[in-house]
């Protein structure tokens, strides 16, 4: 997961636009809408399917906003906002990451399982399972995500 986010933030994720740049694929339509090119920013933020996922998640994010911001900056802004110390939003930061992760899994499922009929609400199931991993038996979050630690790198 950490690796996934690092790749996303640094534009190194193997979406098909990236693969095409490396001449591995020639055509790269978005696996959700089929209209636009599958760039990271489109897939995780601007696609109409993705927008519906963000909007109907517990976070209720309007991912179109702000327009013309690339995915790396957009996720950094949100994580920074959700992880501020004086608020109780760490759980939402984890949910934010979980939603990104589930969009990626849904995308892979759509590409590699040709019989799969796209259902955006499947992401919520994935996110719920993801959140469970961060909770103890009474539902409290186990991990305190601290932005300061991240800036110091992995120890
Ligand atoms: Zn799309």
Residue 42 lies in a domain: yes
Structural domain boundaries, residue 124: 2-20+34-152
Q: Give the Å distance between the CA of 150 and the centre of ligand 1.
A: 31
In a domain, 70, yes or no: yes
**Token code pair at residue 73:** 């900056």
Q: CA nearest 120: which of 43, 37, 7, 64?
A: 43
Extended beta strands in the chain, E state: none
Residue 123 in any domain: the answer is yes
Cα–ligand 1 centroid distance for 126 (angstroms): 20
Radius of gyration for the alpha carbons in the chain, expressed in angstroms and rounded: 16
Distance in Å, CA 136 to ligand 1 centroid: 36
Per-residue pLDDT of the chain (155 residues; tens, 9 = 90+): 667 887 887 777 777 666 666 665 556 789 999 988 888 999 999 999 999 999 999 899 999 999 889 999 999 999 888 877 556 566 788 889 999 999 999 999 998 998 999 999 999 998 888 888 777 676 666 654 444 444 444 44
Q: Is residue 25 part of a domain?
A: no
Domain count, the chain: 1
Given a contact cutoff of 8 angstroms between Cβ atoms, the answer to whether 126 and 109 are in contact is: no
Q: Is residue 100 within a helix (H) or strand (E), and if so which, with residue range?
A: helix 90-112
In a domain, 79, yes or no: yes
Ligand 1 centre from 56 Cα, in Å? 17
């Amino acid at each position: 997961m950490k690796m996934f986010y690092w790749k996303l933030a640094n534009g190194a994720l193997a979406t098909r636009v990236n693969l095409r740049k490396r001449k591995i694929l020639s055509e790269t339509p978005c696996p959700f809408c089929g209209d636009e090119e599958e760039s990271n920013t489109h897939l995780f933020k601007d696609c109409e399917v993705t927008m519906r996922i963000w909007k109907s998640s517990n976070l209720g994010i309007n991912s179109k906003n702000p327009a013309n911001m690339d995915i790396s900056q957009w996720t950094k802004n949100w994580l920074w906002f959700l992880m501020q110390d004086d608020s109780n939003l760490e759980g939402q930061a984890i949910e934010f990451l979980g939603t990104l992760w589930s969009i990626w899994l849904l995308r892979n499922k759509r590409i590699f399982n040709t019989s799969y009929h796209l259902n955006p609400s499947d992401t919520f199931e994935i996110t719920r399972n993801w959140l469970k991993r961060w909770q103890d038996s009474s539902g409290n979050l186990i991990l305190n995500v601290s932005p300061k630690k991240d800036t110091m790198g992995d120890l």
